[in-house]
Structure 1
């Protein structure tokens, strides 16, 4: 099965949107994404710090009260607190486990598009599509297309970043008995799924490679 015609159709469908994209609007989106990343990191760090302190306090209570508290509760709180305070590094560990992808980075950060972040993977996924746009329109339109792709990836990374934190926090809730979930399975699955979203270029490339192995060629 070949999907080149589908790619061409999507290119023609998307081309007018990219061709009339406003450069100022693109810059504003980049600034907004960067600002949100900074705020989200701060909030998640504070939640992690609170959990870490709470874990230390529960550890003290455990030594004083003995069997009144499960021994795993303080440990889970301390681990989750450390994960949330170092969330970028934690996601990087998941990425290395899933893809051996190296250090994690944000495609959009510090008010600009980070072309060095996963550039090879992004180019590998969109290279043919960019070439088609250049033939149909111009190099500047193709470049605008690439910027829009990177902005979309940046938005997906924020979503994945937040849900990774939600999954980690869910582990603490399960340990404390305040979660609707009866076990650690759902929070762990949430963390793995969100790690796939954060590292979307590698995830997409893996999906494409899998499809090609079963005969669906791009």
Structure 2
């Protein structure tokens, strides 16, 4: 007797679309096998784990059972650049991955078919006239109506897409005393609003933590 199980494919739009990040090759993506990436849990649900490295996602194509509750775990380890902007466009999902850690995404009970994931570079090219930066969820307003802020502007190099700006803003806004950071990829600058005095070097270090180079104001 042959048991037929409906399946669906989770694949990297980078590889399946014929696009490979710098220094990446099919051999790199093959390091993690698709079979090892899917685990069936005791409750019948399944967990898919992929590795997000600075140059690629691995595995690049995974086959999973359809109609089963599915969690996707994206693991990072000293990962830099746009790979950290993880996008599943068909589900409206965009996550900024930590440099090192694990991010769990609920995919629900996916029907048979195909679901692609990409990095922000493949999804939102910075110089496409029709593209716009992915929306950010604004944080809570700072307490007090008479709060005085100062502004610092930094030159930033190494960016090539809107998600690069999101990664930079995410790092800068983690600093105490920063109320907002707005990075313009085309103008190659980051405008930072502050409520406390923060050495420019700390902001430059945050930009470097995101994987880019920043220059403090003259």
Common fold by TM > 0.5 = no
The alignment's TM-score, normalised by the length of structure 1, stands at: 0.24
Greater share of strand: 2
- Which is bigger in relative contact order (C-alpha 8 A, separation at least 6)? 1
Q: Which of the two has higher C-alpha Rg?
A: 1
- Structure number with higher helix proportion: 1
- What TM-score do the two structures reach when normalised by structure 2? 0.24
